[in-house]
Amino acid sequence: MRVAREYHDRTAHSPYSVRASTHSLDWDVKPFPFKVYTDLPPLALPRDIDPLAVDALAALAAGPSGGVERVTLDDLATLLYYAAGVTKKQTYPGGGEVLFRAAPSTGALYQTEVYVAAGRIEGLEPGLYHFSPGDFALRRLRAGDVRAPLAHAAADEALARRAATIILTAIYWRNTWKYQARGYRHLFWDSGTLLAHLLAVGGALGLAPRLDTGFVDADVNRALGVDAEREAALELVTLGPQGAPAAPVAALEDLRHPYVPLSSSEVDYPLLREIHRASMLHTPDDVRAWREAGRGLGGRPPRPVSPRALVPLPAAREASGRSLGETIQRRGSTRQFGLVPLSAVELATALWSATRSVDADVPTGLVDLYLIVNAVDGVEPGAYHYRPEAHALELLKAGRYRNESAYLCLEQPLGGDAAAVIYFLAPLDRILPAFGDRGYRLANLEAGIAGGRAYLAAYAQGFGASGLTFYDGHVVEFFSPHAAGKDAIFVVALGRAAGSGRVTIGTTPTLSRRPSG
């Protein structure tokens, strides 16, 4: 836990550290945003995508519902498209082009890669596959069923019985090119927002997704054939009904599939590699002990508060009238907020959606939500703490804090123009003794998932959201004494887009088929 604490403190932003930084973006070595294997033929995925007509808010509320008797290749294609597929294209003057994906990613750098361990997927041979969003195809890395080795690595025999497992990894350099060593935090924010999509879509499809964050890192990385000094497994998600367990397999051979280099050169950030190594688990027994050590930490009881300090929120909306598929198609980080208020029910729905529990191998409830409310009808401007057990806001201090909100968000106007800003804080000094250095992954991941759900709830209701970075110590100081002893983890701003502030293709998406471009 010493390494995680040191990493967090050394990568904290302050007005001095930001101004003293000499880092500038080297556009000549900007990493290529797609991992392209040069020796593997593509297996095209079906392009007739389920429009996911289920209401978006209902999908966020439903949790990991099951019910399907089989998983098909069409199901997998739908899941991959809405979690990590290319959904928008923006062309800039001079011919530059950015392909935006379904889930947000800091800086639109998309360091999260997606792999599929297929066991019983109708229409797909058992094997280990890499998903390529660029051509919407799979490439098979290994033939044969690899669920048994993954189940062993995760100390979770259910992985060997479920139809498939999704493995999320991160390629460090894609993010550190811009965010340097602080990019380790971003790996979990971004995989978390992708997981928010994957969990909602998987639940809507009846696949009962379940998250595993504990596993023997070296074994999973070796199965994928990734160099853990550059790319590493972050999370596993199991899908589909249980059946007979996968048969044990012989030791997996090393993989050596060549792929297109990200750029002509890379910059190494030892601090990132150090925290990742320190947070690894080395044996299945380590995994079991790690899970057991943190079993009682999540969902801690709230401290008493005077009822007079609580501001009741309206009940969250059960439906938005916008489907999950349409919501994801239209989602895009807001680049400029108009000074237009949200309603109390809109904010309440975003907060409620963000804090739903996750079906996972370890408890959730590690992260607290603090807010600066700038313009919400029915809620006085001020600083608040969200109490999910009461679905109420605890008033910390009343007042108008647009300037402070912008300042805390690295002096970005988005933070001040937003109707409300959610600051995710976590008691790392309680989390790390229980979960060790790997607890740092959990705190950032939970904030990423909650932020991703807030994004979806916002766009389902017709307003916008944007993830922001922040001055770590100043955020804690602003919300203290209530936040004393906690650490700033992530920030999401909510509000109505001003004019063309939202990144969008500007046309009504066709939900029945994946765009061919």
Higher pLDDT, 500 or 90: 90
- The token pair at 267 is 């910059």
Query: Does residue 515 sit within a domain?
Result: no
339 and 273: one domain?
Answer: no
257 and 394: one domain?
Answer: no
Query: Does residue 501 sit within a domain?
Result: no
Question: What would you report as the CA-atom Rg of the chain, rounded to the nearest whole angstrom?
Answer: 22
Query: Does residue 502 sit within a domain?
Result: no
Query: Does residue 301 sit within a domain?
Result: no
Cβ-based neighbours of 298, under 8 Å, separated by 6 or more:
362, 363, 364, 365, 366
- The token pair at 386 is 């969200």
CATH number of the domain residue 231 falls in: 3.40.109.10
- Give pLDDT, residue 165: 99
Is the predicted pLDDT of residue 134 greater than 90, yes or no?
yes
Query: Does residue 359 sit within a domain?
Result: yes
Query: Does residue 32 sit within a domain?
Result: yes
3-state secondary structure of 244: coil
pLDDT digits (tens, 9 = 90+) for 63-82: 776 778 999 999 999 999 99
Final residue belonging to a domain, choices 293, 319, 337: 293
pTM to 2 decimal places: 0.94
155 and 285: one domain?
Answer: yes
User: What mean pLDDT comes out for the span 204-210?
Assistant: 96
69 and 96: one domain?
Answer: yes
Query: Does residue 516 sit within a domain?
Result: no
pLDDT digits (tens, 9 = 90+) for 258-317: 999 999 999 999 999 999 999 999 999 999 999 999 887 865 556 677 767 899 999 999
Final residue belonging to a domain, choices 228, 260, 293: 293
336 and 262: one domain?
Answer: no
- The token pair at 302 is 């709230």
Count, residues in the chain: 517
DSSP letter for 213, please: -
Cβ-based neighbours of 296, under 8 Å, separated by 6 or more:
363
3-state secondary structure of 99: strand
Cβ-based neighbours of 308, under 8 Å, separated by 6 or more:
none
217 and 363: one domain?
Answer: no
**What range defines the domain where residue 89 resides?**
28-293
175 and 266: one domain?
Answer: yes
338 and 282: one domain?
Answer: no
Count the domains in the chain.
2
pLDDT digits (tens, 9 = 90+) for 382-430: 999 999 999 999 999 999 999 999 999 999 999 999 999 999 999 999 9
Is the predicted pLDDT of residue 516 greater than 50, yes or no?
no
192 and 334: one domain?
Answer: no
258 and 350: one domain?
Answer: no
Cβ-based neighbours of 262, under 8 Å, separated by 6 or more:
31, 32, 171, 173, 174
Q: Are strands 164-171 and 112-118 parallel, antiparallel or unpaired?
A: antiparallel
Q: How far apart are CA 14 and CA 472, in angstroms?
A: 7
325 and 287: one domain?
Answer: no
285 and 324: one domain?
Answer: no
pLDDT bucket at 506, cuts 50 / 70 / 90 = very low
Q: How many other CB atoms are found less than 10 A from the CB of residue 334?
A: 25
Q: Which of 233, 86, 79 is nearest to 164 (CA)?
A: 79
DSSP alpha helix (H) spans, 393-462:
402-408, 413-417, 428-435, 438-460
Query: Does residue 146 sit within a domain?
Result: yes
